[in-house]
Amino acid sequence: MQRCYPGDVKPFSQEDRSLSTTQYTATAARETPMPPAPLSSAAILDLVLTSLDDDKAEDIVTIDLRSKSAMADHMVIASGRSTRQVAAIAQKLIDRLKDKFRLSARVEGKDVGDWVLIDTGDVVVHIFRPEVREFYQLEKMWQEPGAKPAF
């Protein structure tokens, strides 16, 4: 049996290092992502209205802003029955926008659940609890003069 002492140890050569350190990289087959659907304000509006209807939002109102404002093409206002439902409706809509259009909308108020604002760029969505919606009356601000209230 041969004994080794600290002074007898020789450093590894470059060849020894390259052979002794094999790196394994995991490579998994990735699914080919589906291309995003064509992005237009009409397509976004259609998805928003379908999502709100599927999630049982109430009193859905669509306001055409194209001739009134440069900030967006459409505004959608809807109500949920509780803070939990308002937050759930908003989250499902956000998820559907990401899945279909790869669109990350800007969201405000989802944690509180009284009034959630979702800005997709071309379509602005407001989801309220009924009491909060009645207090702010956004529909009145955008309706034509002399028109009957939408809500």
Tokens encoding 73: 């093409």
- Of 13-17, 18-22, 36-40, the one with minimum mean pLDDT is 18-22
- The alpha carbon dihedral of 116, 144, 46, 50 has a sign of positive
pLDDT digits (tens, 9 = 90+) for 95-128: 999 999 988 889 999 999 899 999 998 999 999 9
The pTM of the full predicted model, rounded to 2 decimals, is 0.71
Q: Please give the average per-residue pLDDT across 132-148, as a whole number.
A: 82
Q: Is the pLDDT reported for residue 1 higher than 60? A: no
> For residue 130, what are the CA distances in angstroms to 51, 55, 81?
19, 16, 7
Task: State residue 146's pLDDT score.
Answer: 64
26-76 residue pLDDT tens: 555 566 565 556 688 899 999 999 999 999 999 999 999 888 888 889 999
Query: Are 113 and 81 a contacting pair, CB within 8 Å?
Result: no
pLDDT one-digit tens code per residue, 77-101: 999 999 999 999 999 999 999 999 9
Interval 10-24 mean pLDDT: 54
Spatial CB neighbours of 22, under 8 Å, sequence gap ≥ 6: none
Kindly indicate whether the domain formed by 41-138 is annotated with CATH number 2.40.50.100.
no
Whether residue 17 has pLDDT greater than 60: no
* Reduced 3-state DSSP string for 42-93: HHHHHHHHHHHHHCCCEEEEEEECCCCCCCCCEEEEEECCCHHHHHHHHHHH
Position with higher pLDDT, 145 vs 132: 132
